[in-house]
Amino acid sequence: MKIDPTNPADLSAQIATAIRDAVEPAGAEIAWIAVVRAPLPLEKLADAVDGTRFARLDRKREDLKLFGERLGRQFARGGGLIERVQGELFSSSRGEYGPVEGIVFIRDREGLEGEEKALQDHFESALISGMLSTDVKVVGVERRDTDPSQIRFMADHDLPSVDDLDLVAGKTALVYVLLGAEGQCGGSARRTSSC
């Protein structure tokens, strides 16, 4: 199984290591890692997609939504839009883009407020929707010390999640979700249901 851990803010080395520690013993490999800029550089992204149906994403929320959904599908299946916008969209990335069998999503909202936060939330909602519209397994993860917790956002978007990736139980839950378990998994009081 190839995994894409995607973090729309700040992919820490500890989270990447925890994901690797969870999936590699189960026979999976991390295909690529991408960190989406926050806040999104909407004008630069609009310039990068000039001449496409997304060219007004900096001015029209519907275009931003469609852009996020398309990217979400391409995170799972691969596609040319990622290559077209990677310089503007990602603050860092490594690996080879292409179809994957699982996506690990990390969300960090530290430092975003007001309109920037609203636009980032709108984009990420569409991104999740696009990823979930494919047959690829998608799971949101966080550590027990994530503050504020993003589990509610993930649950509100029907994204299975693991809230204690820093524990062995969380790493095990990550593998279970990638294999098809559903719900919000983990040991913290933040989870809304069991795996």
Residues 47-71 have pLDDT tens digits of 999 999 999 999 999 999 999 999 9
**Boundaries of every domain in the chain:** 2-185
- pLDDT, one tens digit per residue, over 83-122 is 999 999 998 888 988 999 999 999 877 778 999 999 999 9
What top-level class would CATH report for the domain 2-185? alpha beta
> Residue 28 and residue 64: Cα distance in Å, rounded?
32
Q: Give, to the nearest 10 degrees, the angle between helix 61-77 and helix 114-132.
A: 40
